[in-house]
Amino acid sequence: MSDTSTSPFPPEETLTPERARELGYELGLRGDEYDQLLAILGRVPTVAELGMYSVMWSEHCSYKSSKLHLRGLAHDEPWVIAGPGENAGVVDVGDGIAVAFKIESHNHPSYVEPFQGAATGVGGILRDIFTMGARPIAVMDPLRFGDPGGWTDGAGVEHPVDPLQRHLIDGVVRGVGHYGNCVGVPNIGGEVEFDDTYAGNPLTNVLAIGVMDRERLQLARAEAPGHLAVLLGSATGRDGIGGASVLASQEFDAGLDAKRPNVQVGDPFAEKLLIECCLELYERDLVSGIQDMGAAGIACSTSELASAASMGMDVDLDRVLLREPSMESWEILCSESQERMLALVDPEQLEEVQDVAHRWGVPAAVIGEVVEGDALRLTRNGQLIADLPARSLADEGPVYDRPRSRPAWLDAYAEVAAESLDATLVGGTLEAADGRPGRSLDEVALQFLASPNVASKRWMFEQYDQHVLSGTVLGPGMADAGVVRLPNSRRAVACSTDGNGRWCEIDPVQGTIRVVAEAFRNVACTGARPLATTNNLNFGNPERPEIMWQLAASIEALGAACRQLGVPVTGGNVSLYNETQGQAIHPTPVIGILGVLADAEDALGLAFEDEGDLVFLLGAPTVPGLAGSELQRWLGAPLGGVLSPADLELEAAISEVLQEAAREQLVTAAHDVGTGGLLVALAEACAAGDIGAEIELEGELAGLSPTQQLFSESPGRVLVTVASPNVKDFAELCADAAVPLTDIGTVTGERLTVRGLVDLELEALRDALEGGLTELLGG
Amino acid sequence: MRIGVVTFPGSLDDQDARHAVEVCGGDTIPLWHAEATVQGVDAVILPGGFSYGDYLRCGAIAHRAPVMDAVAEFAREGGPVLGICNGFQVLCEAGLLPGALTRNANLRFVCRDVPLTVEATDTAWTGRFSQGQTIVIPAKHGEGRYVADPVTLDRLEDEGRVVVRYAFGSNPNGSERDIAGVTNAGRNVVGLMPHPEHAVDAGLMGGTDGRGFFDSVMVGLPV
C-alpha cells in the first residue's frame, strides 16, 4: 500500500492510511464504503479523491438506498425519448416537438436558508432541463410546511402563530419567486400543504418543463477524445461545498446554523445568460456533450460525462476561475457554486464557442480534455492530485438492499374509525364535542373553505410571474393542471403535481396509487392526454427498516400504477433523511404527470362559466372517503382509517372521455373532486367562474351521511359542466366508454346551494376561499 | 412599418413584445443593447425583465447601455417609444420620463390582472382607446410603485400626462395617485408598469385589452 515518501501526489494531498479512513468517516463514508474505495484505487486516496468519493457516493448523488427499488420503475412507451438516468425525461409530443420535464427537491437547504435554498432549487432544475437541449418554458412548485398558525380548526382549537413556519413560508415563496421571475420562466402551478409533520423539515420540490425540436436533444456524453471540456458560467467559490453529502444525506439535529455555509447562493441573472448562451450553442451545433454542475460540481460533471462515454478526462484545476484563490483542490472539485455548465467542444470550434459565450457575457474556461481510457486525472499547480476510474465515481458507488419491515403503526391507523365523522360536531364526534352543540353545515363550510389547506393559494402564486414567454393558457388556480402552449405550434402541454402525505402515512401503497391517479386525472381534466411521469420521493431515514419499507412499497406501487395507466416514469429525484431530531415526515411521494393537447384552444379550465350549464359527476360513485382526509385533519380527529381504493381502469376511461369531450367541445369545465371533497370542488368552480350553482344529490349519494356527501375524498370523480344542447352527445360518449355519469344540478345565480345541506352566498364563499390564506399570511 | 424591441442582458419579455406586435399585424426587429443604433425603425419598445439582474436600482445600468443613446436621440426627434415595466424603469432612469419606480408598498412581487383607466388618448401609444375606458391587463413586478415630488405629480395631471391609472381600489403597489403609466411632454414616449404585451392573444390567459397600445402606434406609422 501507500508509502508517503514515494507518493506521486504532493504532500498537501497525501494522507496516512489512518488519517484517510478517519477523514473519510468525517465526510460521511462509512467503514465498508471506505474499504470499497481502497479496493478500487489500490492505494490510500488523496484528499481530493476522498472529497470527491464522499460527495459522489452520498445518498443524494448515488441513490444508494433506492437504486435497487427504482429499477422496478423502468417501463417504456414509444413516445419516451429519454428516461431515467438522463438529466430529465424527454417525451415526443408530436409535430417534431419534444418536451423535457423533471422534478427535484431542495428540502434541507430550504430549512437552513429558505430564500436561497428555494431559489437555487429552481435554478438547479432549470439547468437539468436546458442541459437536455430544451428551453425551459414553465416551473411548478409543490411545497410543504408546518402549520403557520393563527387560525381556529374544526375542533375549536386555536392554532397559535408559529413564527418559524411563517419565516420558512415567506422565505421559500420569495425564493421560488425571485429566481423564476428574474430568470424569466412562468410559474404555472403547484400545490401547498401545511402539516406539522413538516414543521422541522419543510419540502421544496420544483418541477420544470422545457421544449425543443425533437432532433435537438443533447445527451450528456463525451464522445470523442481530444474534445475540450469548457466550464461555462460563474466562477467557482466556497458556497455549497459538500451540500450534497452534508445537507441532503443526513438528518438534522440541533446546531443548524453551523450548516449555513453549505447552502448555495443563486444568481438568476447569470442563469438567464447561461440559458441563452447554451441554447445558442445548441442551435449552432457547437457542443458535443454537456452536463450541468449541480450537486458535487466539477467532480460530478467531469466523471459523469466521461463515464457515460466510457472515456477518460484530464482536468487542470488551475484553469478554473475561482472566487477565492485560496481554495483547496477538494473544495474546487466539490463546490456547488451555481449557474455553471460543463460543455464538450471540438477544438476547431472553440473560438466560435468563446464568441457566443462572450456575447452573452458568460465566462468560458477550458479546464480539461477528453482522453482515451477510463481515468479521470486532475492536476493542480502542475501536479497530479487525483487519478481514478471515472466510472467508479459516477456509476459504481455502493448500492444497498437495506432491511425493511412493515411499520407496526399501520395497524393502529387502520383501526381508526374515520368514516363516521360528523362535520357539524365540534371535533367530529359526540365524544370530542363533549356536550357542545352542533353547528350548521353552512358555518362549517365557510370555516373549512377558509382554512389554510383548503383556501386558494393565491397568496403564493401572485408572487410568481405567470405570463412571461407568452405561452400560459391556464395558469395557477385556473385549471386542475397548468397548461402551456408550445412555441410556434397549436399544441400545448398540461402538467400537474400531486402529493398527499396523510394518505401515504396510513397506507403507502394505496396512498401512492391514489396520488398517481389524482395527478393523472388532473391532467385529463384539462382535456390533455397524459403521457409520462416524474416523481419526487420525499421520505425519512432509510436506515430505519420501517422507513425503508415505506419507500420500497411506495416505489413498487408507483411503478405498477404508472404501467397500468400508460404513463412511464421518465425520471425524478429521491430525497431521504427528511427527519429532524429522529422524527420522520409523512412519506410524501410527489408525482408530476405531463400530458399533451393537440390544440391549445381545447384546454378545459375548472371555472363554472355559463348560466344554465348542467353539472355532472363523472366517474366513480361516491363512497365513504374520510380516511386521511382534509376534513379529518381540520376536525382535529386522529389520522387513520382505510383508504378507499382507486380504480385505475376507470381512471383511464375517464381520461379518454375527457379528451374526446374536450376535442369535440362537449364540456365547458372539468374539475377533479380532490382534497376536501365535493363541497370544495364546487366552491372552487363557482369562485373561479364568479357564478353560483344549484346542486341536488340523489341516488347513491343521498344514501351517505351529509358529511360524506360533502367531504368524502373517494377517488375517481370529476365535476363537469355541459351546455344543454350537448348533453345527449356527452351522455352517449360516457355510456360508450362505460363511465358512469350523474346529473347533480345547474350552474346558476349567485349562491352555491346543495339542497338540504348547504346554501352559501357567492361572495361569502369567495371571501373564505380566496381570502383565507391572504388574511392569515398578510399582505 | 417596423418596431424595434431592445434586448438588454436580463430582458425577459422581449420575445413577448415582438409576439404582441406581430399578433397586431406589425413587423419587429431585435435591437441589441451593445449597439448604439435603432436601425431606422419606426418605433421602439423597451421590454420587461430584470436588466442586468436589477441588483442595483432597477434600470440604473441599462440606461447607460449604448443602445440607449440611440433611443434617447430617437425619442428627442419624436419617435414613439414604449417602456413596459423594466422598460418604464429604464426610461425614468434615462430621464426620458419623470418620476421613479420604487419597491411595492407591501414589499412583495405581485402578478395579478389589474383594471386600468385610460386617461390620455393623445399619446403615440393610446390613440385607439377612448378616454375613460377601463381595460384589464396583467401587472407583474416587485418595484412598480410610481413616485415623484408633488409638483411633478401636479404638473403631470395638469398637462394630462397620466396615461393610465389603476382603477379605484386596484392599486397593486402603492403608486402615488394610482398612477400606472405616464408620458413625456411630446406624448411620444410612454412608460407603464402593467404588461399590454401579455394581453393580446385570445388563446392565452391575460385577455386582449393590451392590443390597443400596439394598434395605436401602428396607425400613426408609415405603412
State the DSSP string of A647-695.
-HHHHHHHHHHHHHHHHTT--SEEEE--TT-HHHHHHHHHHHHT--EEE
Q: Which residues of B touch A (CB under 8 A)?
A: 9-10, 12-13, 15-16, 19-20, 48-50, 52-55, 106, 108-112, 138, 140, 142, 195, 197-198, 201, 203-206
The answer to whether the Cβ–Cβ distance between A475 and B15 falls below 8 Å is: no
A and B: number of Cβ contacts within 8 A: 93
Identify the H or E element spanning A746: strand A741-747
Q: Which amino acid is at A574?
A: V
Q: Which residue in A467, A469, A485, A488 has the most chain B C-beta atoms within 10 A of its own C-beta, making it the best mutation to test that interface? A: A467
Confidence of residue A533 (pLDDT cuts 50, 70, 90): very high
Spatial separation of the C-alpha atoms in residues A120 and A68, rounded to whole Å:
29
Is the pLDDT higher at B113 or at A259?
B113
Grade residue A336 by pLDDT with cuts at 50, 70 and 90: confident
pLDDT in tens, A180-191: 999 999 999 999
Angle at the Cα of A41 from the Cα atoms of A38 and A44, rounded to 5 degrees: 55
Partners of residue A456 in chain B, C-beta under 8 Å: none
Check CB contact under 8 Å for A462 and B110: yes
Nearest residue on chain B to A469, alpha-carbon basis: B16
Which residue would you say has higher pLDDT here, A239 or A648? A648
Average pLDDT, chain A: 93
B220: pLDDT strictly greater than 90: no
Which of B53, B112, B203 lies at the smallest CB-CB distance from A182? B53
In terms of DSSP H, where are the helices of A360-485?
390-394, 409-415, 430-433, 441-450, 458-461
Local structure of B12: helix, strand or coil = coil
Would the CB atoms of B140 and A181 count as touching at under 8 Å?
yes
**Whether residue A178 lies in the annotated active site:** no
For residue A465, the chain B residues in CB contact (below 8 A) are 109, 111, 140
**Are the Cβ atoms of B53 and A268 closer than 8 angstroms?**
yes
Nearest CA to A145 among A119, A110, A179, A117? A110
Q: Which of B108, B141, B171 to mutate to test the interface with A (most CBs of A within 10 A)?
A: B108
Taken as a whole, chain A contains a residue count of: 779
From A205-219, A364-378, A445-459, the region with the lowest mean pLDDT: A205-219
Q: Give me the CATH number covering residue B130.
A: 3.40.50.880
Q: What is the pTM of this model?
A: 0.96
Sign, Cα dihedral of A267, A273, A275, A277: negative
For B206-223, what is the mean pLDDT?
89
Question: Which cell numbers hold the place of A251?
Answer: 438528518
Question: What does the block give as the cell for A471?
Answer: 405561452
What's residue A222's pLDDT?
58
Cα separation of A136 and A182, whole Å?
Answer: 13
The DSSP bridge partners found for residue A80 are A91
Contacts of A272 in chain B (CB under 8 A): 9-10, 12, 50
Determine whether the interchain pair B50/A267 forms a contact, defined as Cβ–Cβ distance below 8 Å.
no
Contact check, Cβ <8 Å, B112/A462: yes
Predicted confidence at residue A582, as pLDDT, reads 87
Q: How far is CA A145 from CA A227, A355, A554, A779, in A?
A: 46, 45, 22, 19
User: Residue A6: pLDDT band by 50, 70, 90 thresholds?
Assistant: low
Catalytic residue (choose from A60, A108, A178, A227) = A60
Q: Is residue A72's pLDDT more than 90?
A: no
State residue A75's pLDDT score.
Answer: 78
Predicted local distance difference test score (pLDDT) of residue A257: 47
Choose the catalytic residue: B85, B92, B141, B143: B85
Give the model's pLDDT for residue A261. Answer: 56
Q: Is A162 a residue whose pLDDT tops 90?
A: yes
| Chain A residues touching B203 at Cβ < 8 A | 473, 485, 600-601
Closest by Cβ to A361, choosing from B9, B13, B48: B9
How many structural domains are present in chain B?
A: 1
Question: In the predicted model, is pLDDT for residue A437 greater than 50?
Answer: yes
Tell me the pLDDT band of A192, cut-offs 50, 70 and 90: very high
CA-to-CA distance for A706 and A767, rounded, in angstroms? 24
Q: What are the chain A neighbours of B112 within 8 Å (beta carbons)?
A: 462
Question: Which positions in chain B touch A488 (Cβ < 8 Å)?
Answer: none
Would you place residue A250 in the very low, low, confident or very high pLDDT band (cuts 50, 70, 90)? low
| Chain B residue with the nearest C-alpha to that of A270 | B53
Mean pLDDT of A489-493: 97
How much is the average pLDDT of A555-564?
97
Q: How far apart are CA A775 and CA B104, in angstroms?
A: 19
CB pair distance less than 8 Å for B50 and A181: yes
Average pLDDT for A132-160:
97
Q: What is the pLDDT of residues B116-154, one digit of tens each?
A: 999 999 999 999 999 999 999 999 999 999 999 999 999
Q: Which residues in chain A touch residue B195, judged by CB atoms under 8 angstroms apart?
A: 467
pLDDT at residue A331, as a whole number:
86
Per CB-CB distance under 8 Å, the chain B contacts of A462 are 110-112
Residue B8 and residue B68 in contact, taking contact as beta carbons nearer than 8 Å = no
Is a pLDDT exceeding 50 seen at residue A284?
yes
Q: Give the pLDDT confidence score for residue B181 in this predicted structure.
A: 98
Q: Is the distance from CB of A500 to CB of A515 less than 8 angstroms? A: yes
Nearest chain A residue to B138 by CA: give it: A467
For chain B, give the mean pLDDT.
96
A313 bridge partner residues? A370, A376
B113 CA: distance to closest CA in chain A (Å): 10
Residue A262 has pLDDT above 70, yes or no: no
Task: For residue A206, count CB atoms less than 10 angstroms from its CB and return exposed for 0-12, middle for 13-18, buried for 19 or more.
Answer: buried
Q: Output b/e per residue, B3-15; b: 16+ Cβ within 10 A.
A: bbbbbbbbbbbbb
How many angstroms separate the CA of residue A134 from the nearest CA in chain B?
A: 17
Q: Do B109 and A475 touch (CB under 8 A)?
A: no
Mean pLDDT computed over A717-739: 98
Calculate mean pLDDT across residues A224-235.
94
Write down the pLDDT at residue A219. Answer: 65
Tell me if A697 sits within 8 A of A709, measured CB to CB. yes
Quick check: is A108 catalytic? no
Task: With CB atoms and an 8 Å threshold, state whether A463 touches B106.
Answer: no
Lowest mean pLDDT among A58-62, A449-453, B174-178: A58-62
Contact criterion met (CB < 8 Å) for A463 and B111: yes
Question: What is the reported pLDDT for A395?
Answer: 86
Compute the average pLDDT of residues A639-654.
Answer: 98
Reported confidence tier of residue A309, pLDDT bands at 50, 70, 90: confident
State whether A273 and B9 contact (CB < 8 Å).
Answer: yes
Q: Mean per-residue pLDDT for A209-228?
A: 84
**One of A106, A227, A586, A671 is an active-site residue; which one?**
A106
| CB contacts, 8 Å: B52 with chain A | 269
Contact A177 B140 (CB under 8 A): no
In this prediction, residues B203-218 reach a mean pLDDT of 97
Chain B nearest-CA distance from A676, in A, is 26
The whole-angstrom distance between A176's CA and the closest CA on chain B is: 11
pLDDT category of residue A670 using cuts at 50, 70 and 90: very high
Length of chain B: 223
* Average pLDDT estimate for A676-683: 98
Rounded CA separation A645/A715 (Å): 7
The C-alpha angle A637, A643, A645, rounded to 5 degrees, equals 160
**Which residues constitute the domain of residue B47?**
2-219
Residue A621: DSSP 8-state:
P
Instruction: Give residue A254's pLDDT.
Output: 47
Enter the C-alpha cell of residue A714. 373517494
Predicted pLDDT of residue A260 = 45
